Structure 1
């Protein structure tokens, strides 16, 4: 039953993607309502499956694939909620594709990493902040890639016909830094709660998470300072965003990937 539900949710994500793609290659207006309701249906099934995958049995199963599926769910939920306010059509196919693939992987390739967060609410707060910080900064990375694509299109004069489904370059840049700022605040609180509540934050096998997260915090901090103080934009912004995202991904999933995929495999 779980496999069928995951398959149906993935098909709904695919249906949302197929409603978006034609409008990106032409100037036909993308209708937001059908995309929104299709995505909401997919997200509802995704949330139902995550409940079973993570909360099944005693404790919480925070395996790497379950966490990856949870992160993709948060990203998809946040971007779907902004459909009527922002032109996110360039980002949504990537977001929904990852959500569907991660959900299918978590369902078909079950893993186990059991913890008991109900007895440690402060750790639950830390993990929740970390998930939302990572999700927000991954959205910023997608924005940075969209910014690079739009910049390339303009410089090579490939956008000869204005596509109303694609946002203007300056709007994307402004939204990018707003999202990075929110993500940086969340990452700051994540590190603060880690220092306060996680006793073995610098223990062997865990210290790399703290150091990589702090390195990412520095990268995003330098990027924000460079933009607001020195007017940084363009390729430098894109590369800083990618480096920050890479460091956070290593911090959050690096050791998990080695233990749960490479060694277990």
Structure 2
């Protein structure tokens, strides 16, 4: 068994354990132990990071592609959730993040997709910024989904289960816009680095990714402007957040799926 596989199995186990603990708390009527939820997730992220190092770093460059980048994003998102939960109640996002991470780690190890790309001319920094931007906006999307559940339960006039211990909607919305601001800033810098260091969009099959990423950037920019100028919140904020995230999701994962799986191109 390779080091990547060994540490990947450890990460998968602790991600699954963290997911189980979160879902058990969903059935509870009391506030959860933050340490109980975050301790296994922290171990999982650490093991995942080591596994990714052995998986991605090669003599010829960095392994990129659909599953390797998805695994990087899963590690980044979980790490951000764990770190953010130390001072704000982001731990509930683990209900969506931990199960995904538990699935994507073994998939990236044993389903061989992707391609090796030399990290030159600032491409490495562009990739890192893109992964960070995507990861922060994943957290925004998860936050929007939880907000949507809160709004629906309030509309029904009955707050059920774990939603009783959630922060008030105003706090949840404040957390949502904090992550959107950060994600939009990172996405802006990533786009700028992409334009600076990508030589030929057509030759590298990047036109569709670039256009969709710019569309997503505009959606989030409109939402932030609407929040600042007109006080947008509630369902409007949720719709814009999920729309922008879905476009961004298609920008990379949809196009990469077509290129790697259907067209067999890097």
TM-score by length of 2: 0.91
The match for 1:74 is 76
Distance 1:162 1:110, change over 3 A: closer
Distance 1:23 1:162, change over 3 A: closer
| Matches for 1:28-67 after TM superposition, within 5 Å | 28-67=30-69
Distance 1:28 1:5, change over 3 A: same
1:174 aligns with 2:180: no
The match for 2:196 is 196
| Matches for 1:146-165 after TM superposition, within 5 Å | 146-159=146-159, 165=165
Distance 1:160 1:124, change over 3 A: closer
How far the C-alpha of 1:34 sits from its partner, in A, is 2.8
Q: Distance between the aligned counterparts of 2:194 and 2:114, measured in 1?
A: 23
How far the C-alpha of 1:115 sits from its partner, in A, is 0.4
Q: Does structure 1 retain, via aligned residues, the 8 Å contact 2:25–2:162?
A: no
How far the C-alpha of 1:231 sits from its partner, in A, is 1.5
| Aligned-residue RMSD, C-alpha | 1.9
How far the C-alpha of 1:104 sits from its partner, in A, is 1.2
Where do 5+ consecutive residues of structure 1 fail to align?
A: none
Q: Distance between the aligned counterparts of 1:242 and 1:213, measured in 2?
A: 14
Distance 1:253 1:203, change over 3 A: same
TM-score by length of 1: 0.92
How far the C-alpha of 1:188 sits from its partner, in A, is 1.1
Runs of 4+ in 1 over 6 A off after TM superposition: none
Where do 5+ consecutive residues of structure 2 fail to align?
A: none
The match for 2:27 is 25
Q: Does structure 1 retain, via aligned residues, the 8 Å contact 2:34–2:91?
A: no
How far the C-alpha of 1:197 sits from its partner, in A, is 2.0
Higher deviation after alignment, 251-260 or 106-115 = 251-260
How far the C-alpha of 1:156 sits from its partner, in A, is 0.7
Q: Distance between the aligned counterparts of 2:92 and 2:162, measured in 1?
A: 14
Q: Does structure 2 retain, via aligned residues, the 8 Å contact 1:24–1:166?
A: no
The match for 1:234 is 234
Q: Does structure 2 retain, via aligned residues, the 8 Å contact 1:137–1:183?
A: yes
The one of 1, 8, 11 equivalent to 1:9 is: 11
Number of aligned positions between the proteins: 262
Residues 187-226 of structure 1, C-alpha deviation per residue, up to 9 Å, x if partnerless? 1111111222222235572111111111111100111111
How far the C-alpha of 1:260 sits from its partner, in A, is 1.9
Q: Distance between the aligned counterparts of 2:188 and 2:216, measured in 1?
A: 11
Q: Distance between the aligned counterparts of 2:131 and 2:161, measured in 1?
A: 39
Q: Distance between the aligned counterparts of 1:139 and 1:158, measured in 2?
A: 26
Q: Does structure 1 retain, via aligned residues, the 8 Å contact 2:12–2:44?
A: yes
Q: Does structure 2 retain, via aligned residues, the 8 Å contact 1:184–1:217?
A: yes
Q: Does structure 1 retain, via aligned residues, the 8 Å contact 2:150–2:163?
A: no
Q: Does structure 2 retain, via aligned residues, the 8 Å contact 1:24–1:165?
A: no
Q: Distance between the aligned counterparts of 2:162 and 2:45, measured in 1?
A: 32
Secondary structure of the residue that 1:90 maps to in structure 2?
helix
Q: Distance between the aligned counterparts of 2:161 and 2:26, measured in 1?
A: 12
